[in-house]
Amino acid sequence: MATESPHKEMRQSSSVSYSHEEAPILKREHDTDGHDVSRHDYHEPDGSAPSQGQVVNGAGLAPAHSFPALGDKNYDNNQGRLRSRLKKKYSTKHPMLRWTKFMDSPTKNNVVAVIGEFLGTTMFLFFAFAGTQLANVEVGDTSIQIVAGQPDGFNPGTLFYISASFGLSLMVNAWVFFRISGGLFNPAVTLAVALIGAIGPLRAVLLFCAQMTGACFAAYLVEVMFPTPFKVQTTLQYGTTVAQGVWIEALCTAMLVFTIIMLAVEKHRATFMAPIAIGIALFIGELIAVYYTGGSLNPARSFGPAAVQHNFMHNHWVYWVGPFIGAIFAVLAFWMFKALEYEFANPGQDADVENDPTRNPNHQMAHIVEKRHAEVAQIRAIEQEGGFRALNNVGQQGSVLGQQGAIGMAVAGVRDGDEIRVKRIRKGEPDLEANWPATQGVDAAQSEKLAEQRADGDSALAGSSDPVQSPAGPLTSNP
């Protein structure tokens, strides 16, 4: 027979009520200093492990939503035990105390993101640089080290190999690190996601530093680990002008960044598959750009090899200006589609109810659209009544009021459907509203008399051409 676990024993004993002093204590584990390290009594000072959905509260068990009253003796004793245990645990271990406080601070998340971005950028560019160097093994010695140039000209195999190295490396590493740091690996991408508010300015600066450091470290590893010549630096080639290089880098980067924004930043049902499309986007961009510019699409990708070789080309700035322009283009396109509410142009494509405003009435965009729909309905009604200019002049021409009157109070003697026209009150004119039957300005007996006349003499009033006068003055009724 298998031995029952302590958890099962604890659950069985939980059905019995104990006093605070007699509560069963789960057997604890101790470190070399005798300090308690059992995770079962981390939150419960008396050492008991509550079953799922219950917590220990004084004597016996209580539902998870119950809390002890202030001044409860058992609760105070538990707090005292907790303080004593923490004092014993940390009094002689100041580094442990600082570590616990650090793990509960916002700084920890930034540190984790920076470490993840550094490792991710290093791994991404290491395999991309290694593949590029391998593709250039048979390239003859030239005065300038380029990415994909050969003395005899165009070589599709070399271009495809380099493009595949970058695309596949980005796909794998972005998929691995996107839950840690976002898997950006690119200052241009970092700029874009910061502009759309996906990350804060501090996080963007920290990730930028991690990316640049990781790019340099990756280039250094490739240079020292492989015996072949280090040929991964980017430069304009085959007659490509500076202006052409800038726009080639800009447009290819724009496609990459826009893919990242729409598939990774904008959440949808297939967000977890975004790294595949992002890797393919880089692969396509490299197929076009490698031959003409070396295919950077990433300032860190060009900065790393140049820094390691201490050789910044005269056109190195192209690989900063071009990708940043492309990132801004992608952000502008995203802002345009968001302003036009692209979600409603082709709704239901992702079948994601939570993030689809056309299917989730609680979505923020759904509330915005519903509010605007009501405003448009009112605008159309106003336009049918003559437009906003006529609405502004209605006070001078008189307004049509319903049974409730201008102050939201029923007017005695006025039936539903009657039209009451009240002119705007000007300085020096009597306040007609103050003299209506519903107010104190008219005697109640007169109001009741007018109501009786209205109820008893409908037929006589229908045949009469004289308008019905209110006791107050010129209230014209058109039955």
Q: What is the DSSP-derived secondary structure letter of residue 262? A: I
H/E element holding 182?
none
Q: What is the pLDDT of residues 177-224, one digit of tens each?
A: 999 999 999 999 999 999 999 999 999 999 999 999 999 999 999 999
Please give the backbone phi and psi of residue 61, each rounded to the nearest 5 degrees, phi first. -115, 150
What H or E segment, with its residue span, contains residue 422? strand 420-422
For 316-332, write each residue's pLDDT tens digit. Answer: 999 999 999 999 999 99
Please tell me whether residue 183 adopts helix, strand or coil conformation: coil
The helix (H) or strand (E) run that includes residue 331 is helix 318-339
What percent of the chain has a predicted confidence (pLDDT) above 70? 59
Planar angle of CA 451, 456, 461, nearest 5 degrees: 90
Task: State the CB neighbour count (10 A cutoff) for residue 194.
Answer: 20
Neighbours of 387 (CB within 10 A): 11
Answer for the pair 130, 229: CB distance below 8 angstroms, yes or no.
no
Q: Is 322 within 8 Å of 236 (Cβ atoms)?
A: no
Buried b (16+ CB within 10 A) or exposed e, 88-113: ebeeeeeeeeeeeeeeeeeeeebeeb
CATH of 108-340, one of 1.20.1080.10, 3.40.1160.10, 1.10.8.10, 3.40.309.10: 1.20.1080.10
**Residue 145, pLDDT score:** 45
88-102, 151-165, 234-248, 342-356: the lowest-pLDDT one: 88-102
Cα Rg of the chain, angstroms: 38
Report pLDDT digits (tens) over 15-31: 444 444 444 444 444 55
Q: Does residue 171 carry a pLDDT above 90?
A: yes
Spell out the domain ranges in the chain.
6-82, 108-340, 399-463
Q: Which two tokens stand for residue 270?
A: 């297939």
pLDDT tens digit string along 393-422?
655 444 444 444 444 445 555 555 555 555
The residues with which 421 forms a beta bridge, in sequence order, are 400
Contact predicate 330/192, CB 8 Å: yes
Regarding beta strands 61-63 and 420-422, do their DSSP bridges make them parallel or antiparallel, or are they unpaired?
unpaired
Q: What distance in Å separates the CA atoms of residue 90 and residue 35, rounded to the nearest whole number?
A: 10
Give the pLDDT confidence score for residue 136 in this predicted structure: 83
pLDDT over threshold 90, residue 371:
no
194: which residues sit within 8 A by CB, 6+ positions away? Answer: 200, 201, 203, 204
Model confidence, pTM? 0.61
**Mean pLDDT value of segment 468-475:** 45
Q: Which of 333, 180, 173, 199 is nearest to 253 (CA)?
A: 333
> How far apart (Å, rounded) are the C-alpha atoms in residues 428 and 294?
84
| Cα angle 46, 48, 49; round to 5 | 145
Paired tokens of 248: 């080639």
Decide if pLDDT at 269 tops 80. yes
Question: What φ, ψ does residue 36 adopt, rounded to 5°?
Answer: -70, 125
Query: What are the contacts of 304-307 at 24+ separation with CB within 8 A?
Result: 304/125, 304/129, 304/212, 304/215, 304/216, 304/217, 304/218, 304/219, 305/129, 305/219, 305/230, 305/232, 305/233, 305/234, 306/233, 307/216, 307/219
Residues 36/41/44/45 CA torsion (nearest 10 deg): -20
Percentage of the chain exceeding pLDDT 90: 38
Q: What residues contact residue 375 under an 8 Å CB cut-off, 6+ apart?
A: none
